[in-house]
Amino acid sequence: MYVAAILTAQTMPARSAVTVEDLTAHFFRVAVEGDRVGGAVGVFKWAGTIPVVVIGDAPQPAVDQLDSLLAELESLSGLRFTAAALSPQFAAISDSRPRFVILRGNADQIRWVLREDGGVREVSATLREIPGVPLHARLVIAFMRRADAIAGAWDEGLKEIAVELRNSHVHCVFSLKAEVSFAVVASAIIIPTDEHDWVIRHCVNEEVTQTLGLISDVPGSPITLFNANYDPNQTELTKYDRLLLKVLYNDAIRARDSGDELRTKVRKLIEEEMINLQR
């Protein structure tokens, strides 16, 4: 299953006070997605340890921010991010941090693609001078110029969002690979480097968090960063974004949960988290 980040979103009206019912409805707007092929509806979730690679010439402030963000997302979700294992051939252009490895270079040097071999999904990066060297990762974050977004050996899903990024007003994009069970197995994010610093910061916070399962925007919503409104004064996750991520990754919520049963569980968990917010 391939899921693009360019999704149909619904507008949530501004409210003076955010209620449990507001947040329950908001959760269903941002986290519950239908499978256009099979007709199934449910939530997407990762599980376990996620090997991460950063590809391209990421600005140093964005690297530091990503480091801090992944640490916070670990705390909120219970997931674990780790540096993807690299083949020794990459040593000259790589830099490792505990939660991700950086593979530096531009689109002329690096070609990469999400692929499927015998049911095992992996991300491969290929240097022109070192063809065919596999890079095992489940989350790829690519920093590149907008004009370079479709360079390299893309699969059809990634090519679709790369073309959208290059030819439209969209600032940044992500894609998900998921099983029929809605368990996420891989994701790729493209963040253009030819944007203002504050846009890059917004993109890192938004796309990395959304790829964990809060996948849809709610245009105009004042309670979320995922509101399709790029504003230099609003680049950080809100307290409600954090709250809903904690709810999504509560053990009571399973990938592909949907319907009234999911709504009952989500409402109860939101009530508990709202009490914690007010302490």
Mean pLDDT to the nearest integer, 166-175 = 78
For residues 224 and 29, the answer to whether their CB atoms sit within 8 Å is no
Using the predicted structure, report yes or no on whether residue 12 has a pLDDT greater than 60: no
- Residue 114's pLDDT band (cuts 50, 70, 90): very low
Residue with tokens 């376990």: 48
Residues 222 and 226: their CA atoms lie apart, in Å, by 9
Hey, how many other C-beta atoms are within 10 angstroms of the C-beta on 45?
22
Closest listed residue to residue 243, CA positions, set 209, 212, 274:
274
For residues 44 and 213, the answer to whether their CB atoms sit within 8 Å is yes
- Residue 174's pLDDT band (cuts 50, 70, 90): confident
Q: Both tokens of residue 9? A: 């979103």
Amino acid letter for position 257: D
Residues 19 and 270: their CA atoms lie apart, in Å, by 10
Q: Answer with the residue of higher pLDDT: 121 or 147.
A: 147
H/E element, 166: helix 156-167
Residues 102 and 64: their CA atoms lie apart, in Å, by 12
What is the third-level CATH fold of 2-278? Answer: Collagenase (Catalytic Domain) (3.40.390)
Q: What is the pTM of this model?
A: 0.84
pLDDT tens sequence across 54-108: 888 889 999 999 999 999 999 999 999 999 887 666 676 778 889 998 887 654 4
Measured in residues, the chain has a length of 279
Q: Answer with the residue of higher pLDDT: 260 or 137.
A: 260
Residues 30 and 237: their CA atoms lie apart, in Å, by 14
Specify the pLDDT at position 37. Answer: 39
Using the predicted structure, report yes or no on whether residue 10 has a pLDDT greater than 80: no
Residues 96 and 238: their CA atoms lie apart, in Å, by 29
Specify the pLDDT at position 73. Answer: 98
Using the predicted structure, report yes or no on whether residue 30 has a pLDDT greater than 70: yes
Specify the pLDDT at position 277. Answer: 81
Specify the pLDDT at position 178. Answer: 86
Amino acid letter for position 157: G
H/E element, 75: helix 60-77
pLDDT tens sequence across 190-226: 898 888 999 999 999 999 999 999 999 888 899 999 9
DSSP state for residue 5 in the 8-state scheme: S
Specify the pLDDT at position 160. Answer: 66
Residues 254 and 165: their CA atoms lie apart, in Å, by 32
> Which parts of the chain are beta strand (E)?
2-4, 32-34, 41-43, 49-56, 80-83, 94-97, 100-103, 110-117, 120-127, 139-144, 173-178, 184-192
Q: Both tokens of residue 44? A: 């997407």
